[in-house]
């Protein structure tokens, strides 16, 4: 059974990983197309930025073509220009949006430098989210000495983004003690020549070493490369060297270096990981000696938003009060979500389609109410989705004759097998279609409309105590990147209240929001408005008389004048009826200051579709601008269109599904499937207290800031990299509340009944080793019986003087005696202590450790990360006991219990 479990996991981990989200980039032949580079609306207008982008990508294309052995280049690039820039004949965008761009150009909110970086959510081989470049990086030629030529730096970041490789340096551990007991710079390859420099002056190893056991060096000690040298690798270490033209491969990769590529990719070189990518497997090198054509560039500009609501009014919309709930959700969109100066039309469809309202400019409250009055009240007939989509296009074309850059919000609950009839029209329309599937029977091909147009995908259940429809409409942003104008959902709740009972709670408004703040209350059509009381932080009370009521839509809304007061707002609903009533409340607001970004939440799953028994990962990116928000309570609620929701607490601890600690990205495994079908993701975030931290550094994989160069034996230092005394600064934003929809995803092949035990313990990724006076302390966080839940049955701990032996020959490596060890529940912090008896002719011995966990079905986790320890052995103790028995002095200690659960597994 142990062999079977191991075989299952090996098979699982060898299959190609999916991207974290569907990439808009396409590989056509050997050329990348539809690469979108979006300029943030806050960037000051400067046409030189456009020229620099073109030059950078063109140089990158040729450099990458050579580095990938004549395999990849950039073919088609789109530069997305903000609406605020002067129109100079730029083309109108189609599907392209700031939120889904592969590359963004933006300043940092908390400025710490101009490091180009890539935001990576997933593990080795998984695509990243985006590359971030600053305007100063593009415009300031003085930074070329710091990062290297822009084209080369772009290839470094593209490798992060597209192929899921990691940096081959380590800012936290720039030096290490090598196997031959020498202090060496953390780099790949070791062929890169240079000198150790202490505060700008050449120094030797002894001057630099602070702690021989850990490889820790003194402040001001750094490795400075020779500017002219022969080293050809590696692009993921120091692409700024003119000689570097290749990625590290099996021959040049340094396996003993403690950098992230070794940790995340199990000591594989970057080229090995690239060769395993879907891109590599789908292409062959281009023969000959000629270079590819330079990439073509399109300059696109964002215009005012044009949206058409295409709403299903077929007979099935009468079921489960769907049409009433659709009206309530659409009212929220028209009243609070859609931005001023946008143009909105309304189309309804059943067997055919009808225009309810032509495009109307959102100028004021009156224009919003005019549109709300046109929302449908009656449902009847069949379902013809294509008729609705075509009529939506008809409404949009009346503006300027085309549909480029427009949006359709398509909501339907009905089955329709003829939806493919309009796929061609949709694909060529240049419009974006956002789909909302209501109930369990919405058309199976509905999401294809969103996929082919880069739209959002949502689903909602028929449960009255679920706000799925409202959350879906709230999540449809405009894609312009103008966060200050977007509606931010602070709270979204729905609950059944017994007769005479109260529904009460709090909403925390922080200082980053407060403008255009609304409380929207809704109730079921056969009920009545509850008694309502809302109290602001100064104890001012708003009652039912302060709400604007709509007896047709069964809603009541309260708009807070001016900028809402920061602090905790409390609410109380009182059900005065003799029957149980379902009430819902949504609170939205906008940024308090257009020049300061608000706290936002971006939630999504690791995949759009999955087949059982493969697990998924839930992600929630909580940030203020580009600064991660730390210390928040983040809860994911995942709900099948029929069935009970699953609740998960997401963590940002840098272990397990979460690959980086304190980067503001909260993560968790999900595998508790309730059956086949559409699932909906919702995330609730609460700032714990006023001491919640705002990091000054957006975690990501970044280009190395080169400290200087050795030129003809002379040290030429670059300006020092901006340094902060602490990686965090207290964010004076107060407590905060956020709720965000993460869209929908589809699960298939879930077996009926209780799920079989197919999930092994997840991989331990935080194994650490520390030596103290000849005693070694191994620490890690316990995995579960199933990934990161439950309790494993046993551990296998192995040691070696070679990390590759642990990776490639784990079963035959030297074992530590763990027969008496009982693993603690998942999330417990554990420590294993043992005293080795070693023979050595050297004062220092380097030992490597790795481990696996086994569950009660004999399913075995993947091999953990490899931990390294340096043992300083006094001469008098060497060989004293002839100690070859590593079982001799083993002690087991368990300390504490962590709240978070730390595990990892590679996703399919």
Backbone φ and ψ for 424, nearest 5 degrees, come out as -60, -45
Instruction: Give whole-number Cα distances, 50 to 54, 81, 304, 329, in Å.
Output: 6, 9, 22, 40
| Of 806, 900, 799, 792, nearest in space to 856 by CA | 792
Residue 504 has a CB neighbour count (10 Å cut-off) of 11
| Separation in Å, CA 442 to CA 385, 438, 497 | 11, 6, 30
Which H helix or E strand runs over 803?
A: helix 803-808
Active-site choice (157, 226, 407, 639): 157
The answer to whether 221 touches 211, Cβ cutoff 8 Å, is no
3-state secondary structure of 193: coil
Strand-strand pairing, 31-33 and 73-74? parallel
Strands across the sheet with 343-349, in order? 353-361, 343-349, 306-312, 407-412, 432-438, 457-460
Q: Six-digit token pair at 567? A: 């602090």
Strands 567-574 and 531-535, sheet pairing: antiparallel
459: tokens are: 């689903």
33, β-bridge pairs = 26
Q: What is the DSSP letter of 334?
A: I
Residue 374's nearest CA partner among 363, 360, 389, 364 is 360
Alpha carbons 580 and 301: distance in angstroms, whole number:
52
| 506-541 pLDDT per residue, tens | 999 999 999 999 999 999 888 888 999 999 999 999
What DSSP string runs through 445-508? THHHHHHHHT--EEEE-S-TT--HHHHHHHT---SS--GGGS-EEEEEEEEEE-TT-EEEEEEE
> In which residue are the tokens 């909302």 written?
436
Q: Round to whole Å and give the CA distance between 650 and 635.
A: 6
Other C-beta atoms closer than 10 Å to the C-beta of 458 total 29
Residue 214, SS3 per DSSP:
coil
What pLDDT score does 214 carry? 64
User: Residue 4's pLDDT is what?
Assistant: 33
> Mapping DSSP to helix (H, G, I), strand (E, B) and coil, where does residue 400 land?
helix
Place of tokens 């080169």: 706
Report whether 627 contacts 696 (CB < 8 A): yes
The CA-based angle 242-244-246, given to 5 degrees, is 145
8 A C-beta contact, residue 780 and residue 764: yes
Please identify every stretch of the chain with a pLDDT value under 70, giving residue numbers as ranges: 1-23, 109-112, 212-215, 689-700, 722-733, 838-844, 872-908
Extract the tokens encoding 273: 């990981």
Give rounded-to-5 percent helix, strand, coil for the chain.
20, 35, 45
Provide the pairing of β-strand 76-81 with 296-301. Answer: parallel
The structure's pTM equals 0.90
| Backbone dihedral angles phi then psi of residue 142, each to the nearest 5 degrees | -65, -25
Bond before 405 cis per omega within 30 degrees? no
Q: How many residues are present in the chain?
A: 908
Place of tokens 């659709």: 326
- Encode pLDDT of 608-621 as tens digits: 999 999 999 999 99
Whole-angstrom distance, CA of residue 777 vs CA of residue 613 = 36
Cβ-contact 638, 671 below 8 angstroms: no
Residues whose CB falls within 8 Å of the CB of residue 779, separated by 6 or more in sequence, listed in order = 766, 767, 768, 770, 829, 830, 831, 832
Sheet with 677-687, strands from edge to edge, namely 609-611, 737-748, 677-687, 632-640, 646-650
In whole angstroms, give the CA distance from residue 666 to residue 740.
14
The DSSP-derived string for 835-903 is E-----SSSEEEEEEEEEEE-TT--BPPP-PPEEEEEE--GGGTTTT----TTSEEEEEE----SS---
What is the model's pLDDT at position 109? 53
Q: Give 373: exposed, middle or buried? Use CB within 10 Å, 0-12, 13-18, 19+.
A: exposed
Paired strand residues for 35: 77
How many helices (H) and strands (E) would you count in the chain? 17, 54
Q: Cα–Cα distance between 595 and 598 in angstroms, integer?
A: 10
CA distances from 240 to 231, 244, 389 (A): 12, 7, 51
Measure Cα distances from 254 to 27, 192, 234, 803 in Å.
31, 11, 11, 11
At residue 315, the 3 state secondary structure works out as helix
C-alpha span between 181 and 374 (Å, rounded): 78
Q: Is 157 a catalytic residue?
A: yes
Q: Which two tokens stand for residue 99?
A: 């939120």
3-state DSSP assignment of residue 440: coil
**Spatial contact of 731 and 624, defined as CB atoms under 8 Å apart:** yes
Both tokens of 546, joined, read 């302060």
Q: What is the distance between the alpha carbons of residues 776 and 907, in angstroms, rounded to a whole number?
A: 33
């Amino acid at each position: 059974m142990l062999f079977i479990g191991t075989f299952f996991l090996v098979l699982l981990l060898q299959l190609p990983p999916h991207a974290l989200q569907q990439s808009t980039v396409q590989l056509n032949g050997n050329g990348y197309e539809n690469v979108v580079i979006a300029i943030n609306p806050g960037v000051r207008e400067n046409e030189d930025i456009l020229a620099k982008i073109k030059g950078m990508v063109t140089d990158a294309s040729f450099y990458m073509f050579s580095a990938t052995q004549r395999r990849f280049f950039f073919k088609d690039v789109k530069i997305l220009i903000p609406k605020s820039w002067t129109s100079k004949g730029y083309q109108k965008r189609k599907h392209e949006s700031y939120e889904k761009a592969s590359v963004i150009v933006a300043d940092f909110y908390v400025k710490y430098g101009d490091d180009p970086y890539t935001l990576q959510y997933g593990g080795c081989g998984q695509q990243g989210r985006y590359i971030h470049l600053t305007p100063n990086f593009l415009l300031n030629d003085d930074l070329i000495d710091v990062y290297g030529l822009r084209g080369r730096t772009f290839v470094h970041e593209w490798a992060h983004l597209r192929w899921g490789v990691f940096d081959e340096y380590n800012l936290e551990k720039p030096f290490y003690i090598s196997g031959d007991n020498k202090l060496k710079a953390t780099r790949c390859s070791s062929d890169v020549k240079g000198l150790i420099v202490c505060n700008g002056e050449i120094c030797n190893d002894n001057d630099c070493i602070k702690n021989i056991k850990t490889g820790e060096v003194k402040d001001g000690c750094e490795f400075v490369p020779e500017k002219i040298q022969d080293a050809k690798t590696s692009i993921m270490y120091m692409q700024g060297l003119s000689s570097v033209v290749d990625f590290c491969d099996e021959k040049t990769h340094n396996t003993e270096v403690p950098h992230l590529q070794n940790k995340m990719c199990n000591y594989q070189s970057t080229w090995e990981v690239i060769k395993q990518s879907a891109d590599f497997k789908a292409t062959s090198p281009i023969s000959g000696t000629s270079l590819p054509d330079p990439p073509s560039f399109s300059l696109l500009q964002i215009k005012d938003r044009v949206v058409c609501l295409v709403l299903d009014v077929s007979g099935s919309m009468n079921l489960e009060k769907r049409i009433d709930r659709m009206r309530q959700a659409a009212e929220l969109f028209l009243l609070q979500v859609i931005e001023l100066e946008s143009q909105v039309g309304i189309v309804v469809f059943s067997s055919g389609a009808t225009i309810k309202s032509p495009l109307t400019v959102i100028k004021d409250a009156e224009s919003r109410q005019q549109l709300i009055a046109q929302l449908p009240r009656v449902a009847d007939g069949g379902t013809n989705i294509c008729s609705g989509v075509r009529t939506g296009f008809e409404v949009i074309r009346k503006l300027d004759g085309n549909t480029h850059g427009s949006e359709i919000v398509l909501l339907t609950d009905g089955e329709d097998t003829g939806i493919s009839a309009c796929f061609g029209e949709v694909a060529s329309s240049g419009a974006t279609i956002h789909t909302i599937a209501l109930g369990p029977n919405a058309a199976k091909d509905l999401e294809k409309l969103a996929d082919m147009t880069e739209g959002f995908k949502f689903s909602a259940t028929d449960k009255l105590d679920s706000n799925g429809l409202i959350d879906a409409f709230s999540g449809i942003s405009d894609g312009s990147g103008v966060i200050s104008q977007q509606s931010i959902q602070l709270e979204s709740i729905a609950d059944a209240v017994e007769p005479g009972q109260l529904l009460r709670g709090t909403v925390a408004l922080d200082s980053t929001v407060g403008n255009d703040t609304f409380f929207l209350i809704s109730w079921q059509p056969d009920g009545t408005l509850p008694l309502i009381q809302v109290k602001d932080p100064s104890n001012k009370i708003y009652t039912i008389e302060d709400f604007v009521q709509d007896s047709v839509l069964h809603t009541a809304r309260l708009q807070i004048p001016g900028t809402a007061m920061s602090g905790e707002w409390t609410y109380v609903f009182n059900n005065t009826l003799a029957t149980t009533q379902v009430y819902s409340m949504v609170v939205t607001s906008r940024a308090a200051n257009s020049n300061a970004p608000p706290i936002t939440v971006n939630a999504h799953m690791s995949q759009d579709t999955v087949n059982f028994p493969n697990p998924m990962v839930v992600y929630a990116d909580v940030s203020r601008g580009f600064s991660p928000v730390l210390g928040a309570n983040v809860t994911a609620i995942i709900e099948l269109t029929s069935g009970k929701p699953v609740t998960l607490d997401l963590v940002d601890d840098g272990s397990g599904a979460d690959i980086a600690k304190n980067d503001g990205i909260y993560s968790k495994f999900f595998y508790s499937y309730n059956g086949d079908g559409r699932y909906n993701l919702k995330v609730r975030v609460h700032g714990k207290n006023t001491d919640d931290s705002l990091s000054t550094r957006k975690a990501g994989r970044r280009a190395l800031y080169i400290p200087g160069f050795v030129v003809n034996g002379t040290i030429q230092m670059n300006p020092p990299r901006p340094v902060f005394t602490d990686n965090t600064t207290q964010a004076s934003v107060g407590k905060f509340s956020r709720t965000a929809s993460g869209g929908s995803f589809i699960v298939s092949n879930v077996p009926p009944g209780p799920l079989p035990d197919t999930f092994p313990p997840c991989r331990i990724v935080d194994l650490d080793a520390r030596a103290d006076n000849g005693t070694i302390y191994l620490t890690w966080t316990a995995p579960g019986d199933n990934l990161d839940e439950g309790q494993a049955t046993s551990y296998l701990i192995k040691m070696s003087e070679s990390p590759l032996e642990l990776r490639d020959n784990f079963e035959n490596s030297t074992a530590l005696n763990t027969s008496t060890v009982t693993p603690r529940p998942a999330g417990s912090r554990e420590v294993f202590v043992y005293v080795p008896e070693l023979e050595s002719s050297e004062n220092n011995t380097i030992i490597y450790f790795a481990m696996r966990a086994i569950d009660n079905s004999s399913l075995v986790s993947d091999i953990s990360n490899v931990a390294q320890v340096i043992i300083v052995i006094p001469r008098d103790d060497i060989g004293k006991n002839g100690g070859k028995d590593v079982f001799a002095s083993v002690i087991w200690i368990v300390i504490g219990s962590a709240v978070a659960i730390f595990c990892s597994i590679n996703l399919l």
